[in-house]
Structure formats: C-alpha cells, structure tokens
Amino acid sequence: MQLSGHGVTCVRGGREVFAGLDFGAGSGEAVAVVGRNGSGKTSLLRLIAGLLIPAGGTIALHGGDAELTLPEQCHYLGHRDALKPALSVAENLTFWADFLGGERFDAGESLATVGLDHAADLPAAFLSAGQRRRLSLARLLTVRRPVWLLDEPTTALDVAGQDMFSGLMREHLARGGLIVAATHAPLGIDSRELRIGGAV
C-alpha cells in the first residue's frame, strides 16, 4: 500500500498555503509533517482525508481496498476531540462506530486499551482533556482503517498516555498501516519528516 501526493497545491480563503508539494508513505511507515504555525500541516491532512479539495496536483492510495475511496480508508483525528458531551463514553464510541461503518472491533476492549474502561458510563462532559483525547484514540481501535491522519495526536496526554499511544502506533504500523501526523512534538516512533513552509 502506498499513499502519494504529487504537485499538491492548497489554497484557503484565497491564499496559497503551499504549492507543488510531493510526499509519500508506504505500509508500515510514519511521516511526521512539521512546519511553523500556519504552514499548512492541518490542511494537508484534511486534503488527504477528502475534507478539502486540492487546488492542484493529485493524492492517491495504491494497493488499498479497490472498492473504497481514499477517505473511506482513512481515520482523521483532528486537534479537537469530536465528542458529544451529553453522551456517555461508551455511547460516543458507538456513535463513531456506527457513523464510520466497516468491520467493528470490541468497544469495551478499545476503552480498556486506552485506560477508559472504568469511565464507560460517564458522560463525556465530565472527562478531562487527556481523557477526551484517549476516547478519540479509542475510535482508531474500534473501527480499523489502514491510514491514520493525526493532527497533534499527543495533545493533552500525560507521559503514560503518550507511551500508550506510541505503542498503538507501532502496532498499527506492524499490521501494515501507515501514519501521517502533523506535530510539533516527537511522535515516539520512527518516522520520516516532511517539512512544509521552509524552516521551522
């Protein structure tokens, strides 16, 4: 499986964010997208996820499921946690599993893996920032997709949470998945750098 971009150009609000960008990542590889604030790191992830349309160039996934589009094979984890405060932790996970579709893995096991099984019945509104992030990570485990697009994935995680997530990323890569992560901090795994917008 190979994710590639050729000559990708991004325009937001009439402003060219970046142009002529080439990138690639294969099965078992992680790419850390680095750059100054406003250089287009998040925009690149959103382009790959199909949430934005490139102003130029192409983005493609080769060797994935031929019946699915690239966005249907991606998990996009934004820097904001997409949770419904009135729903419980378990209900939030069920909502995302229903929304995303595909083969579903045990939600209870996913919550246990991220250390939230004790809070399954607690409304998401009562979670700390770190717990909300852990719940978002559980989504990656409940519905498996080969491409993880992560925007500042370790935000709000304590040291134990960062170690846990590093382990999850290694397991994902070992299964043949790939990761593209926009980050200002080390991911805690082996990764290649893709710089956007010149010097950081």
What is the model's pLDDT at position 187? 86
Average pLDDT per 10 consecutive residues for the chain, totaling 200 residues: 96 92 96 92 96 96 93 91 91 92 88 95 94 94 95 91 95 96 89 75
What is the model's pLDDT at position 116? 94
Beta strands in 35-129 (DSSP E): 56-62, 74-77
What is the model's pLDDT at position 82? 84
Of 193, 138, 141, 149, nearest to 172 by C-alpha is 141
Cα–Cα distance for residue pair 71/81, rounded to 1 Å: 19
Strand partners, 59: 5
Ramachandran bin of 102, using left for φ above 0, alpha for ψ from -120 to 50, beta for the remaining angles: left
Cα separation values, 191 from 3, 116, 187, Å:
15, 28, 8
> What residue segments make up the domains of the chain, in order of their start?
2-195
What is the model's pLDDT at position 92? 94
Q: How many CB atoms lie within 10 A of CB 171?
A: 12
Sign, CA dihedral 93-95-96-98, equals positive
Cα separation values, 101 from 50, 64, 124, 133, 152, Å:
17, 17, 22, 21, 25
Cα–Cα distance for residue pair 176/180, rounded to 1 Å: 14
What is the model's pLDDT at position 199? 41
Cα–Cα distance for residue pair 62/70, rounded to 1 Å: 9
Q: Which CATH class is domain 2-195?
A: alpha beta
Beta-sheet pairing, 147-151 with 56-62: unpaired
Mark out the alpha helices in 38-186 (DSSP H runs): 41-48, 89-100, 107-113, 129-142, 159-174
Q: What is the pTM for the complete model shown?
A: 0.93
What is the model's pLDDT at position 155? 87
HSE-up (13 A, CA, CB side) for residue 70: 21
